[in-house]
Amino acid sequence: MKRLICAISHKFYVNSRANPIRATPKLQTSTRTAPKGHMIVYLLIAIIIIVASAYTAYSLLYNPDTPSSPFPSPMSPIPSSPTATVTPPTVATSSSSKPTPSSTNSPTPTPEPTSITVIDGIGRSVTIKQPINRIVSINYGLTEIVCAIGCQNLIVGRDELSITPPSVTSIPIVASSSNDPNMELLLESKPDLILADSMIRTKTQVLDLIEDAGIPLYIESTGNFSRILECIRYMGRILNKEQTATELHDFLTRYQTLAADRIANVPPNQQPRVYVEWLTPWYTATHTSIVGLMTAAGGINVAEGGLSTTMGDISPEYVAEANPDIILKVVSGTSYGTAPLKAQRDDVLGRSLLSETNAVKNQRVYTYYNIISLVFIVGSIITLKKRSV
3-state secondary structure of 118: strand
The pLDDT mean for the chain works out to 76
Per-residue pLDDT averaged across 132-158, rounded? Answer: 94
pLDDT tens digits for 81-131? 444 443 444 444 444 444 444 445 566 666 566 899 999 999 999 999 999
User: Whole-angstrom Cα distance, residue 378 to residue 243?
Assistant: 18
- 373 Cβ neighbours under 8 A, 6+ residues apart: 140, 141, 144, 164, 222, 289
pLDDT tens digits for 203-223? 999 999 999 999 999 999 776
Is the peptide bond prior to 70 cis by the omega test (within 30 degrees of 0)? no
Instruction: Give backbone dihedrals phi and psi of 250, rounded to 5 degrees, phi first.
Output: -65, -35
- Cα of 239 vs its chain's centroid, Å: 10
Q: Is the Cβ–Cβ distance between 338 and 111 less than 8 Å?
A: no
Report whether pLDDT(324) > 90: yes
Q: What share of the chain is helix, strand, coil (3-state, %, to 5)?
A: 45, 15, 40
pLDDT tens digits for 304-320? 888 777 788 999 999 99
pLDDT tens digits for 229-274? 889 999 999 999 999 999 989 988 888 888 889 888 889 888 899 9
Per-residue pLDDT averaged across 37-54, rounded? Answer: 58
Domains and CATH numbers, the chain: 1-13+55-76 (no CATH), 115-251 (3.40.50.1980), 266-388 (3.40.50.1980)
